[in-house]
Amino acid sequence: MKVQMRRIGLSYDWAGTEIATCLPEYYRWNQWFFLKMVEAGLAYRRSSKVNWCPKCATVLANEQVVGGCCWRHEDTLVEQRELEQWFLRITKYADELLDGLDKLPGWPEKVRTMQRNWIGRSEGTHVDFHVSAMADTPAIKVFTTRVDTIFGATSIQLAPEHPLTKQLAAADPDLAKAVTEMIAEQKAARETGDIGNIEKHGVSTGKNAINPFNGETLPIWVANYILADYGTGAIMSVPAHDERDFEFAQKYGLHIKRVVAPVISPKDAAGADTDDLSLPYTGEDDAVLVDSGEWTGEGALEAQDKMARFAEENGFGKKTTTYRLKDWGVSRQRYWGTPIPMVYCINGHDGVKPGGVVALPESALPVLLPEQIEITQEGGSPLGKVSAFVHTTCPVCGGPARRETDTMDTFVDSSWYFYRYTDARNAHAPFDSEKANYWFPIDQYIGGVEHAILHLIYSRFWTKVMRDLGLIANSEPAERLFTQGMVIKDGAKMSKSKGNVVSPDDMIARYGADATRMYALFAAPPDRDLEWQEEGVAGISRFLARVYRLTIKYAPVVRSLESHTHGDEIAPKQFAGQTEDGAALLRTLHQTIAKITEDFSGRWHFNTCIAAIMILVNEISAAETAMDTGGIAPATIAELFRALTLLLTPFAPFLAAELWQQLGETAAVFHQPWPMADAELARESEIEVPVQVNGKLITVIRLAADSDEAAISAASLADAKVVARLVGKTIVKHLVIKGKLVNLVVR
């Protein structure tokens, strides 16, 4: 990879900053951070349902499950397993991660939207519904953002995998059968990523729950569209005021009870007030409660607050903010990855029960990853089979201990690597704070949008943790983010498994590094996907050959001139004896410089920069005869080729370096200043002004660029086509928009 990068002319400060996250010099700091997070309560271990990729034979974080499948194995369905795992408490920063997005105007809106949705903050109320005639069964907890509609609840819907569903199904074979089918259906829908569009259906359990606000009994159903791992796995169904509940209630003929109405009554066709409100009505601004007991007449928004408080005071509910974001599960049953620096004290000691977890002291770092081990992808973590690794002593009591054999998610490595660049050889700390604070936040970060809710959210989290540890002053890692497109070949993303990978080495061998590099920049703007076409590389290669031939041909003219400015402004002003052809070439050149300079600094649209260079080269080619016969002054020829070479340097650096020498220069082209566009030279000598008569375009007149309104007006009236139109007519209006348009209204 490094060799390929060098070949194609990518410049990195390898010697000063290169890091390798798989080496202990780096990963010991992952372990150090982990210990700091354990101390701060930000890393913890618990048993929970986790995502398991059978192909990776490891646990995955929620962010690494895409459409129900593994992010590395797009066709492998992720399973759910109950395991003891280490988690990082990213949820502690949920609000800051969310609110901080508003202060990142330099990030693409799509990435910010994806992060907002992923964090998924919603304000609402938890309410407990007790199950009728089942006193020992825990209450069903539901979360609702619309507690003000609770008088309109007409059923409770459980997920097929809700604990109460399981309990009820155990005693009811018909229910059990229906539930098993729904679980299979959810699994299949996750597989195709269609869980949101699942065809809704359900089954009644025959049991009832009690609405704590009014004591009404509500039938309990199990529904296929309720997910056990989303919210509490149970909802109160309010068909009159929720689209999804309405659809479900209509399908099964469930009671629909309206409890919210707009303050201003809707009008009927004749314009009179009507109660005939079409349902579901989901408004909450300017809406009041109806048919809601003591709350009737309250504004919907005010009622949300008051009713949440009422539930809390009476012990059956609580105002809550929920998040879709869950803590980051970082344990992996992989060989590669950083060993987690924790041990289990086998006999226990004061304060730690036998088998209890003990953090290693910093002095025990790094915990080295053993080398040369057998990877079977069976029977759990590969490290568990390395007995010399597993067996150790407890750092507190000195008794026997067992090491944690899981390793860290490799996204831990990438969460903070860029800070290490500021101080890559530091052996005493992850980096020196002063150095990091000098450089950070990053001015411009570049990364694929596919990392929007992976790396780009983890690194924001890690930054906040490091700030709270006092290591850095910034709260966000990067001020601006640019998401580049992908390289597509034959309609699909390049990947080894699809066999459509183009090796840069092959392209470089066939067409050269410059052509390969320049094609990649030319084929698409960097934020778009690039469809790789070999003919395109060949085309660029031919273009560069043309530039080479032309430059070599005129290099003697350039070399013969004494007036090298060597790094000063290279543009000679218009001089006496300049020809019209020469001035036209300089005009194109300076327009090209201006365009490329702008595209470079703002939009990074290198493709249009290269297109502009091609147009310039075409004009130079067309002027070959003039150049050969003395129609273009040598000083102009010199300026053209020197500037062309400088403009090419970012795109075709190897060729540019060669041409620069051929032009008689001794200093490296890379040390030259970027050419400056001269506005005066770039200005068009003539302008074109369209002339309309009664709104219809009649002709386009050409005249000197500095013509005033009177001159434009006179020229428009003198044009033969216009004169022909004016025969026998009267001019009612004569409008001149300088440099843009002449409009004549005639009768």
Among 187, 201, 309, 349, binds Zn ion (CB under 5 A): 349
Q: What is the DSSP letter of 267?
A: B
Residue 137: phi, psi to the nearest 5? -80, 135
| Choice between 357 and 687, CB closer to Zn ion | 357
In the bound complex, what is the minimum distance in angstroms from residue 63's beta carbon to Zn ion? Answer: 14
Which residue in this structure is represented by tokens 């041409």? 659
Question: Helices (H) and strands (E) in the chain — how many of each?
Answer: 24, 30
Indicate the residue among 364 and 396 with the shorter CB distance to Zn ion.
396
Q: Does 56 bind Zn ion (CB under 5 A)?
A: yes
CA–CA dist 251, 181 (Å, integer): 19
Site for Zn ion contains 353 (CB under 5 A): no
Count of residues that bind Zn ion according to CB under 5 A: 12
The residue (of 55 and 130) whose beta carbon lies closer to Zn ion is 55
Q: Where does this chain touch Zn ion (CB under 5 A) — which range of 106-114, 209-217, 251-259, 389-397?
A: 389-397
Stretch that binds Zn ion, among 21-29, 55-63, 527-535, 656-664 (CB under 5 A): 55-63
For residue 575, which of 678, 708, 702 has the smallest C-alpha distance? 678
Question: Hey, what long-range contacts does 572-578 have (CB within 8 A, 24 or more apart)?
Answer: 572/635, 572/636, 572/639, 573/678, 573/680, 573/681, 574/680, 574/681, 575/633, 575/635, 577/633, 578/633, 578/636
Q: Which is nearer to Zn ion, 154 or 407 (CB)?
A: 407
- HEC profile of 224-248: CCCCCCCCCCEEEECHHHCHHHHHH
How far is residue 527 CA from its own chain's centroid? 11
Q: How far is the CB of 495 from Zn ion (least distance, A)?
A: 14
The CA radius of gyration of the chain, in Å to the nearest whole number, is 36
Q: In whole angstroms, how close is the CB of 530 to Zn ion at the nearest point?
A: 27
Which one, 276 or 350, has the nearer CB to Zn ion? Answer: 350
Only one of the segments 49-57, 124-132, 522-530, 599-607 lies at the binding site for Zn ion (rule: CB under 5 A); that segment is 49-57
Query: Residue from 70, 158, 308, 689 that binds Zn ion (CB under 5 A)?
Result: 70
342 binds Zn ion per the rule CB under 5 A? no
Q: Of these, 394, 471, 478, 508, which contacts Zn ion (CB under 5 A)?
A: 394
Q: Which residues pair with 733 in a beta bridge?
A: 745
Please state the closest distance from residue 79 (CB atom) to Zn ion, in A: 11
The two structure tokens encoding residue 430:
């992850």
* Of positions 72, 81, 573, 740, contacts Zn ion by CB under 5 A: 72
Question: Minimum distance between the CB of residue 72 and Zn ion, rounded to whole angstroms?
Answer: 4
Binding piece for Zn ion, criterion CB under 5 A, among 6-14, 242-250, 322-330, 387-395? 387-395
Do residues 311 and 212 lie in contact, with contact meaning Cβ atoms separated by under 8 Å?
Answer: yes
| Binding letters toward Zn ion, positions 288-327, x by CB under 5 A | ----------------------------------------
Segment 399 to 428, residues that bind Zn ion, using CB under 5 A = 399
Closest CA to 461 of 740, 148, 100: 100
Which DSSP string do the residues of 352-413 spell out, in sequence order?
Answer: B-TTEEEEPPGGG---PPPSS----S-SS-GGGG-HHHHEEE-TTT-SEEEE---EE-THHH
- Identity of the residue, 74 or 82, whose beta carbon is nearer to Zn ion in the bound complex: 74
CB of 395 to Zn ion, least distance (A): 8
Hey, which residues does 321 pair with through a beta bridge? Answer: 123
176 lines the binding site for Zn ion (CB under 5 A):
no
255 binds Zn ion (CB under 5 A): no
CB contact set of 119 (below 8 Å; sequence gap of 6+): 94, 97, 98, 323, 324, 325
Round to whole Å and give the CA distance between 500 and 623.
43
Q: Minimal CA–CA distance to 425: which of 28, 32, 36, 26?
A: 26
**Residue 397 in contact with Zn ion, rule: CB under 5 A:** yes
Packing angle, helices 534-560 and 606-622, rounded to 10 = 50
Give whichever of 274 and 377 is closer to Zn ion, judged by the CB atom. 377
**Cβ proximity to Zn ion, 74 vs 569, nearer residue:** 74
Residue closer to Zn ion by CB (options 381, 607) is: 381
In whole angstroms, give the CA distance from residue 716 to residue 690.
Answer: 9
Helices 534-560, 504-511: axis angle to 10 degrees equals 50
**From the CB of 351, what's the least distance to Zn ion, in Å?**
9
* Shortest distance (Å) from residue 346 CB to Zn ion: 8
Is 357 among the residues that bind Zn ion (CB under 5 A)? no
Complex with Zn ion: residue 51 or 592, whichever CB lies closer: 51
HEC letters along 558-602: HHHCCCCCCCCCCCCCCCCCCCHHHHHHHHHHHHHHHHHHHHHHC
Nearer to Zn ion, 68 or 317 (CB): 68
Q: In this chain, which of 8, 37, 53, 524 binds Zn ion, going by CB under 5 A?
A: 53
Q: Quote the least distance from Cβ 380 to Zn ion, whole Å.
A: 16
Of 309 and 349, the one with the shorter C-beta distance to Zn ion is 349
Q: What are the backbone dihedrals phi and psi of residue 300, each rounded to the nearest 5 degrees, phi first?
A: -60, -45
Taking CB under 5 A as the binding criterion, the range among 398-406, 482-490, 595-603, 732-740 that sits at the site for Zn ion is: 398-406
Is 46 near Zn ion (CB under 5 A)? no
User: Any idea what DSSP says for residue 298?
Assistant: S
For the record, the structure tokens of 451 come out as 């990392």
Closest C-alpha among 520, 714, 550 to residue 618: 550
Strand order in the sheet with 731-737: 696-704, 686-693, 741-746, 731-737
Cβ-based nearer residue to Zn ion, 89 or 402? 402
Distance of closest approach, residue 398 Cβ to Zn ion, in angstroms: 7
Q: Are 209 and 128 in contact (CB under 8 A)?
A: no
Give the whole-angstrom CA distance, residue 501 versus residue 469.
43
Burial 172-183 (b: 16+ CB within 10 A, else e): eeebeebbeebb
Q: Which is nearer to Zn ion, 78 or 189 (CB)?
A: 78
User: Of the listed pieces 396-404, 469-477, 505-513, 611-619, which binds Zn ion according to CB under 5 A?
Assistant: 396-404
Helix (H, G, I), strand (E, B) or coil at 277: coil
Residue 55 interacts with Zn ion (CB under 5 A): yes or no: yes
Q: Rule CB under 5 A: choose which of 7, 36, 45, 73 binds Zn ion.
A: 73
Can you tell me the distance from the alpha carbon of 5 to that of 600, in angstroms, rounded to the nearest whole number?
21
The reply to whether 187 sits near Zn ion by the rule CB under 5 A is no
2 touching Zn ion, by CB under 5 A:
no
Do residues 384 and 390 touch, judged by C-beta distance below 8 A?
A: yes
Tell me which stretch binds Zn ion (CB under 5 A): 35-43, 63-71, 138-146, 690-698: 63-71
CB of 385 to Zn ion, least distance (A): 21
CB of 554 to Zn ion, least distance (A): 58
The single residue among 69, 345, 530, 570 that binds Zn ion, judged by CB under 5 A, is: 345
Closer residue to Zn ion (CB): 57 or 655: 57
Of 55 and 121, nearer to Zn ion (C-beta) is 55
Q: Which stretch binds Zn ion (CB under 5 A): 152-160, 397-405, 607-615, 692-700?
A: 397-405
Q: How far is the CB of 6 from Zn ion (least distance, A)?
A: 32
Binding site for Zn ion (CB under 5 A): 53, 55-56, 70, 72-73, 345, 349, 394, 396-397, 399
